[in-house]
A and B are shown apart, each in its own frame.
Chain A
Amino acid sequence: MSYLADVAALARKDLLLELRAKETLPSMLLFVVAALAIFHFALPAGTSHAAALGLLWSALVFTALLGLTRAFVPEREQGLLDALVLAPCDRSAIWLGKAIAVFAFLAAAEVVALPAFAAFFSSIDGSTVAAVALADVGICTVGTLLGAMAVAGHARELLLPLLFLPLAIPIVVGGVGASAGAGPRYLLFLVLYDAVFSLLAWGSFEYVVAEE
């Protein structure tokens, strides 16, 4: 299908850009490991597993924010959204391609973060990994849309955390609950969040990049 080919071309473009620039992914990797190390020193001895999990999720959310903030930088610095938006492809393909690329970076960071967490604190189980994967979907779909909004204004990178963090709170609720083994309801909640907000983001992206 033509739409999927567009998405693939755009995702490939974003991955290529990062491969050449080598800025975002190394920062995310360093940041998440450093954050986990700081949390180790910040927590008093004998802290419960649940509290440590909470910090894992905080680290993941802020690492994701780092990646999302960089997501639209090439387009903004070179005014390229103008060129992309004039093409006959569906504008939501721009959003989906970029969300996929950010997801890839986030997953790569987590491949390092989760074992690091297991080494620094306590082991993690399958439902944590599932929760992280589901949460990533929500973070990337919503965060990419908000990233496009943030980049259009003059507050730029300062605006994205403000826009994103309130929407990230339900993700953290679901994620921590699932990681703490409080039942499959939390994973289902994450699925619901992903479904609802991804659909909304997919439908509304074209308005965010529409004409002035």
Chain B
Amino acid sequence: MGLIRAQNRTTAVATLAVLLLGSALGLIFFYAPTDADQGFSQRIFYFHVPIALTSYVCFAWGAWKALGVLRATEDPERVERNDLESYVAVHLGVVFGALTLITGSIWARASWGVWWSWGEDQLVLFLVLFLFYCAYFMLRFSVAPGRQRANMSAVYALFGVVLIPVSFLAIRLSKKFIHPVVFTSHGPQMATSQLATFCVALAAMLLLFATLYHVELAGKRVDIRLRELRELLT
């Protein structure tokens, strides 16, 4: 029963994601106005920033589940469940992170003619986070599966999520700004149509994450069940 409900939920989320992605693409290419400075290539912004924000959400979700791992000391099943969920979230965060770096690089190339800019602090610090979370996987590969690995992954995921604001502060400290500041303390400096497109794109990316999350989790759980059954038979 639970499985069927989960499947229905995943299908609903997936459908919604597809709808929103379709709408977002339509809005991005046909509705949003062309930017005066950067022209058509500015539209990459509608991909780049929502993807970046979504990867932050992935890492935050992973950290939330990591807290679940650390709190569930007496219950091995809850530890495993939360560990798996945290791992999938971090994994997707790294995927979205890689996409952020790629889209950011394309945007940099289109806007300023360079594939990478070290003076571009926000991009650089995203690279730092990306490196950090790749080390997460090295950590998991290095330790045998079990409670200790779950605990360590959880602690590391928590360190990661704390690193995000600390890194933002480090950016602000370094004064070089090539990255156009779109959201200032006075609110978004965008026209209404641009803001609408951005919001739809953001919602679409978040739902894409949700879909991939549920699909990957379901797949991994089936894998685990299969292996358990195989062990019982031998």
* Selected contact of A189 from candidates B70, B147, B170, CB within 8 Å: B170
**How many residues belonging to B are interface residues under a CB distance threshold of 8 Å?**
33
Inter-subunit contact B131/A153 (CB<8 Å): no
Residues in chain B near residue A210, CB distance under 8 A:
73, 147-148, 151
What per-residue 1/0 map shows which CB atoms of B131-159 lie under 8 Å from chain A? 11011001101111011100110111011
Please report whether the interface of chain B is mostly helix, strand, loop or mixed according to DSSP: helix
Residues in chain B near residue A173, CB distance under 8 A:
170, 173-174
* Selected contact of A153 from candidates B129, B143, B147, B151, CB within 8 Å: B143
In the complex, how many angstroms separate the beta carbon of A72 from the nearest chain B beta carbon?
Answer: 14
Indicate whether A154 reaches chain B with its CB closer than 8 angstroms.
yes
Inter-subunit contact A186/B173 (CB<8 Å): yes
Report the bound CA distance from A23 to B73 in whole Å.
38
* Selected contact of A159 from candidates B139, B155, B173, CB within 8 Å: B139
Indicate whether A162 reaches chain B with its CB closer than 8 angstroms.
yes
Indicate whether A41 reaches chain B with its CB closer than 8 angstroms.
no
Inter-subunit contact B139/A166 (CB<8 Å): no
Indicate whether A77 reaches chain B with its CB closer than 8 angstroms.
no
What per-residue 1/0 map shows which CB atoms of A152-184 lie under 8 Å from chain B? 111110010011011101100110010000000
Interface residues of B in 34-59 (CB under 8 A from A): none
Inter-subunit contact B169/A189 (CB<8 Å): yes
Question: What are 13 of the A-B contact pairs (CB < 8 Å)?
Answer: A152-B148, A153-B139, A154-B144, A162-B135, A166-B128, A169-B167, A169-B170, A177-B174, A192-B166, A197-B159, A197-B166, A200-B159, A204-B155
Residues in chain B near residue A162, CB distance under 8 A:
134-135, 138
Interface residues of A in 38-75 (CB under 8 A from B): none
Residues of chain B at the chain A interface (Cβ within 8 Å): 70, 73, 125, 128-129, 131-132, 134-135, 138-139, 141-144, 146-148, 151-152, 154-156, 158-159, 162-163, 166-167, 169-170, 173-174
Q: Nearest 4 pairs between A and B by C-beta? A: A153-B142, A166-B132, A155-B142, A153-B143
Inter-subunit contact A155/B131 (CB<8 Å): no
Inter-subunit contact B169/A192 (CB<8 Å): yes
Indicate the member of B139, B147, B158 with the most A CB atoms within 10 Å. B139
Residues in chain A near residue B70, CB distance under 8 A:
204, 207
Inter-subunit contact B162/A200 (CB<8 Å): yes
In the complex, how many angstroms separate the beta carbon of A78 from the nearest chain B beta carbon?
Answer: 18
What per-residue 1/0 map shows which CB atoms of A185-201 lie under 8 Å from chain B? 11001001100110010
